Chains A and B, each alone.
Chain A
Amino acid sequence: MPQTDDQRDPLEVLAAEFVERQRSGQRPSISEYTAKHPELAEEIEELFPTIAAMEQLKVHKAEASGGRAPLAALTLDRLGDFRILGEIGRGGMGIVYEAFQESLGRHVAVKVLPRQSLLNSRQLQRFQRESQTAARLHHSNIVPVFGVGEQEGYHYIVMQLIRGVGLDSILAELQQGSPAQAPSGGDRGERPPAPPSGAEAVRLAGLLVRGQFSLSRDFAASSSGSVESLNVPRAEAAVTPPFSFAVTEGGEKPSGSHGVRADEGARPAGSDPGATSSRPETWRLGPPYWQSVAVIGLQVADALQYAHAHHTLHRDVKPANLLLDSQGVVWITDFGLAKAMEQDNVTQTGAVVGTLRYMAPEQLAGQTDPRSDVYSLGLTLYELLTLRPAFEDTDRSSLVRMITHGEPVRPRKINSSIPRDLETIVLKATAHDPADRYRSAGDLASDLRNFLEDRPIAARRASAVERLWRWARRNRLVAALTASTFVLLILFAAVTTAGYVRTAQERRKAEAVSALALEALDNIFGQFAPDRIPSASTLTVVGDSDEQITVPVQPVLSKEAAALLEHMLAFYDRLAGESGDDAKLRRKIAEANRRVGDIRQRLGQYEESKAAYLRAIELYRRPAASGADADLRTEIARIQNELGNVCTALNEWETGRRSYQEALETLKAAPAQSTANPQYQYELARTHYYLGRGPGRSPGPFPLSLGGPRGRHRGPPGSDRGPIGPPPERPGPEKGEAGPPPDRPESAGRPRFPGWDSDDRDRNLQKAIALLEQLVASHPAVPDYRHLLARCYREASFHGFGHRESITSESMERATKILQALVAEYPDVPDYRYDLSETYAMQANLRPFSREATDPAAQKQARGMLEKALAISEELVAEHPNVPDYAASQVHIRLRLAGLLWLSDPTGAEAMLRKAFDSQSALVRRFPRTSFYRFSMAIIQDLLAGLLQQRGKLPEARSMLEGSIASLQAAIARDPNAPIRGVLAYNYMRLADLLRRIGDEQAAAEAARQAESLRPSRDGRDSGP
């Protein structure tokens, strides 16, 4: 396609140039061209007028139709009293011309606004009001407004003419000259095109870098506060020598001065390197430059403070609105215009992206206050320091997302020579939550002054913990945004209502909207119930030793989150119900189904969760363009794993295991080259983990002995019924054993589940561990990998018990170490604390206490562990009362503690048991469908009954025991497959015994009869004495 110009008609080339200049606001003359190209003069004269006429027509056409007038070809010579001399620049709000005010004989700047912006009278009124407000501002850093006017439908504002350059041009200049500091990713034409730099920009940039601006006396005098000269010598000697050119020039900085006025006569133009307009090879930024930036910030902050005191917000502080003149004075323009020009910016496609970049998060939600201006100024300073914008993106929705959830990279990470204090100031100014910023522009100004004068600054650096806490608070902002998202969703709902979507075109539109809606939903969902695979929902935070940490989003459901998720379910459901023709949309819908499955699982609605997962898999499997896609496989495997979890929760272990198995097969079938992907690896590890763990994690089978949280059977083969039970030498059934005698000791005393071969499980665990160790080594910053690894270690330590004792405790220790580290690094993430608590609790059992009951030291150790576990658990329950897992765990820990206290402190044990009983009752009430809770309830009642009996409180013991029986019966009613008939029978026996002691023979006989009838005869399991 590229052809050389000389093949084109030369006249056409000239015409193109002519037209180009006209469109950029210049007023080229025809005679100029005839003079330069005499050989074409005749043709030029013949044709150029027609060409010019055509350009001019564009303006008039717009007038006639009342539509938008492109300002491109606007040729004004005059606006009332003002004679237009030429265009100075243009921005989103209009074009700025230099003009001569004839009546007063002075040069001014005239900003002409696009015609469409003020078409309706309400906007016009607003515009006038804002202009008047702006006109009342008198500050040496605010461009004074002289007047407003209108001509031929064009509204214009007259301002003082500032001979200066916008900071955006200067930034562009500096960026070009500093490849090392230029924005990464090779500027993909993203940001709104920077205006051409020009020689002046180069010159001013140079002056900034060399720090050769001092503050004018006027400024020093009018600034709020001291009149002291700011010509304090910087302690340059103490600072590492800057790379700046000042050094090579012989460091001509007169002492006692901040810098030299750029136009001082002492420096003849020739000798001053700063006067050259050619750019040096690279700009090196050193202390003089940081000073300059701070001085700029100070001026603007001061002006903002003044304006805020006069009840005017700027709302659109950004480099383009800050002019730097040759004296080094910064001028703010376009005060208040942002509000006046407002026309429902949120719905315009692409138009607002430029301004959006500097907008404070709360502005996006419609709440602007003085601190928003502080924020925008902060971002501007950020950009001046790092030479790149804090948020770089074109796409509007990505920008919004980044602004509301993201944090810019720390300036010193980009350039380590940026002074730490200055960075702290900028970070405070750009804090996400307005409450964490400077309270006013004035505060920012005074901290900048502190910096300039070498005084300690007021801003404090937040510790990593504090940062995390702040970030956690940010979730509330999402709630504010969801309002707009819901509007979008409602729109979507309207659009997809059957009957509305008639034509293919409408359908296409609906699909497009639904894709947008899904994106928005995903965003919110990610905040409250994130993916396991660490990618989108993380935040980068800097630790105290300056390393970057990736913080996962809170994975636990708060009450608000649960409510929100319920709402979202409705929308996801609707989306999920759609059937897309488009393969991509189908995938989105599959995703939606998966989300639904996740949400339902979290809410404990297992059947629905299963259904949704199955739908998702079915949709993913439908012949799509990308069949062998590894990512797709990972996704499918993940769903299959979740299905396995749900089945396990429903006591359908065989189905569950098969699901895990299927996940494994899905993953194994992926093409070899794609298996290097960490997400794939992680999912594979996860699959092996589940296969290795076996059932019994979630509300699962009846805990035949309450060996630990969730009723896993723990302990040495054969001997242990769980520490709940009384020590072995205690005779008699009334001692309240922890339920029926354990199963026949096999595979380390585990309950037997068909298909869950223990060697098989061991192997799977080892595989998982191998995979995860690799992942952790290559991706140390990802907490999820470590977390899973810890759980694998824990599981593995368990498996080996009885065979290889040394390994087991080592594994457990490793697990503990990892979890402790995770808890320390991410105090806000409950999952880690929870797992740590469980690990402690398990350790209370794992010590080789063959004589645990009698060894007081061992008992003490176990107790210590349990108390540690309990402490964490209590915290968790207090913070997250909605999470049943935490409450259940707490109950179990208490139970085990009670077991330990049985002998030494029966009162204490009783108290523990009662507390456990209360918590468990609450759980049963809230989750009536979860049989596991009923089972646990039964056990507690059992134990309590035993204890009470032991302490002689027989009537109460009786009611407890009866309660236990009732719980068990209720559990059986719900879940007839539960293997608890034996337990029930046993309890009836105990009841019978107790009743005899009380003296109620009749009831005792009845109970005995019940016991007899329940005795299972099939599997030959002996249930009682």
Chain B
Amino acid sequence: MTDSLADSNELSTRLKCGDRDALAALFAQYRDRLWRMVSFRMDRRLMGRVDPDDVLQEAYLAAASRLEHYGDGSFSPFVWMRMILMQTLTDVHRHHLGTQMRDADREVVVGGCRYPQATSASLAAQFVGHFTSPSRAAVRAEMLTQVEQAVAAMEPIDQEILALRHFEELTNSEVAEILGIQQKAASIRYVRAIKRLRGVLSHVPGFFEGSQDAPDG
């Protein structure tokens, strides 16, 4: 998962020269992670209507057309790609949900990146979604609201760190870059975020009872 800096630098140089092959290589290399991001952040209502792969494809085209501007910022290739992907995803949401988007401020800006929905909603959906057994289904809706509220009470940046680390599977340095903070800060915040999450979830009745047992500890 950790890319060598050398690879990243080389890709970056090539991208600055407008090397389309580098873009393709970038895409192929990070595809899994990018897919995960889309899958994680996509609104539930779009599941089944929009295939994450389509979003990826659109993003690729978008990146191709923006390639000459790659050098304008100072992003690493992956982060740059991710940004474009995020914008594409946001566009897709707007396109499909349009006025149906529940809240006017459904779109959230965190760390310079515009998300189609608040991370808390994505996170909450993750947490609650694992209750698949029918007996639990009844409880789910209620639980979802509670979890959402609980998670939303966490600082947005903490939510974001969790999402980036676990659902997008990014490294500490990538998280730092995306959020625009120091690596050290990212690292410390992550630990704190985990602590807070644990605290938050333990207060939601029935949450930890139903979940899978942790590996032997």
Contact = CB atoms under 8 A, between A and B. Distances in A.
Are A and B co-members of a single complex?
yes
Interface of A: 1-3, 7-9, 11-13, 15-16, 19-20, 23, 27-31, 43, 45-58, 60-68, 70, 72, 188-190, 192, 348-351, 353, 393-396, 398, 505, 508-509, 511-512, 582
B138 interface: no
13 contacts: A7-B184, A9-B188, A15-B194, A28-B215, A30-B215, A46-B198, A47-B198, A50-B201, A67-B47, A350-B24, A351-B31, A353-B28, A509-B58
A61 B125 contact: yes
B148 interface: no
A62 B27 CA distance: 23
B16 interface: no
B80 interface: no
B214 interface: yes
B149 interface: no
B171 interface: yes
Interface string B123-167: 001110110100000000000000000000000000000100111
Contacts of B182: 3
A351 B24 CA distance: 11
B173 A1 contact: yes
Contacts of A11: 191
Interface residues of B, number: 67
Given A61-B130, A66-B47, A53 B39 contact: no
A7 B28 contact: no
Contacts of B7: 189
A66 B44 CA distance: 11
B214 A52 contact: yes
Contacts of A505: 91
Given A8-B172, A15-B194, A53 B132 contact: no
B169 interface: yes
Interface in B164-208: 165-167, 169, 171-173, 177, 182-184, 187-188, 190-191, 194-195, 197-198, 201
A189 B23 CA distance: 12
A508 B195 contact: no
A415 to B, nearest CB: 26
Given A15-B194, A60-B129, A66-B48, A48 B217 contact: yes
A23 B130 contact: no
Contacts of A16: 165, 171-172
Contacts of A58: 126, 166-167
A60 B216 contact: no
A744 B173 CA distance: 86
Nearest to A509: B61
Contacts of A28: 215
Contacts of A3: 173, 182-184
A67 B215 contact: no
Interface stretch (B49-57, B96-104, B109-117): B49-57
Contacts of B172: 8, 12, 16
A8 B129 contact: no
Contacts of A65: 44, 47-48, 129
Given A65-B47, A70-B36, A57 B216 contact: no
B129 A57 contact: yes
Contacts of B24: 350, 394-396
A30 B214 CA distance: 9
A64 B216 contact: no
Contact of B129 (A43, A47, A61): A61
A31 B32 CA distance: 31
Given A46-B198, A58-B126, A188-B21, 16 more contacts: A1-B177, A3-B182, A3-B184, A7-B187, A8-B184, A12-B191, A31-B217, A47-B194, A49-B217, A53-B214, A61-B129, A61-B130, A65-B44, A190-B25, A395-B24, A505-B91
B52 A31 contact: no
B2 to A, nearest CB: 8
Contacts of A70: 32, 35-36, 39
Given A63-B132, A349-B57, A19 B194 contact: no
A54 B214 CA distance: 10
Contact of A48 (B31, B39, B214): B214
A366 to B, nearest CB: 22
Contact of B126 (A47, A57, A509): A57
Contacts of A56: 130, 211-212
A189 B29 contact: yes
A420 B217 CA distance: 61
A350 B28 contact: yes
Nearest to B27: A350
Contacts of B214: 30, 48-49, 52-53
A51 B198 CA distance: 9
Nearest to B7: A189
A767 B187 CA distance: 69
B160 to A, nearest CB: 14
B215 A349 contact: no
Given A16-B172, A64-B130, A394 B21 contact: yes
A67 B52 contact: yes
**Nearest 9 Cβ contacts at the A-B interface:** A60-B130, A8-B187, A49-B214, A30-B217, A7-B184, A12-B187, A64-B129, A50-B198, A9-B187
Contacts of A31: 216-217
Contacts of B212: 53, 56
Nearest to B177: A1
Contacts of A511: 65
Contact of A57 (B130, B183, B187): B130
Contacts of B20: 395
Contacts of B22: 188
Nearest to A190: B25
Given A61-B126, A394-B28, A45 B194 contact: no
Contacts of A189: 7, 10-11, 25, 29
Nearest to B68: A584
B69 to A, nearest CB: 12
Contacts of B11: 189
B108 interface: no
A29 B195 CA distance: 20
Nearest to A50: B198
A19 B191 contact: no
A36 B126 CA distance: 32
Contacts of B47: 65-67
A787 to B, nearest CB: 32
A7 B187 CA distance: 9
Contact of A60 (B39, B48, B132, B201): B132
Nearest to A2: B5
Nearest to A22: B215
Nearest to B182: A3
Nearest to B44: A65
B127 to A, nearest CB: 6
A393 B20 CA distance: 12
A45 B64 CA distance: 46
A12 B28 contact: no
Nearest to A353: B28
A900 B57 CA distance: 70
B80 to A, nearest CB: 14
A60 B182 CA distance: 33
A109 to B, nearest CB: 23
Contacts of B127: 57
Contacts of A54: 126, 162, 166, 197
Contacts of A2: 5, 173
Contacts of A72: 32, 169
Contacts of A349: 27, 31, 53, 56-57, 60
Nearest to A349: B57
Contacts of B76: 1
A77 to B, nearest CB: 10
A19 B166 contact: yes
A69 to B, nearest CB: 9
A350 B30 CA distance: 11
Given A9-B191, A16-B172, A66-B47, A512 B65 contact: yes
B28 A13 contact: no
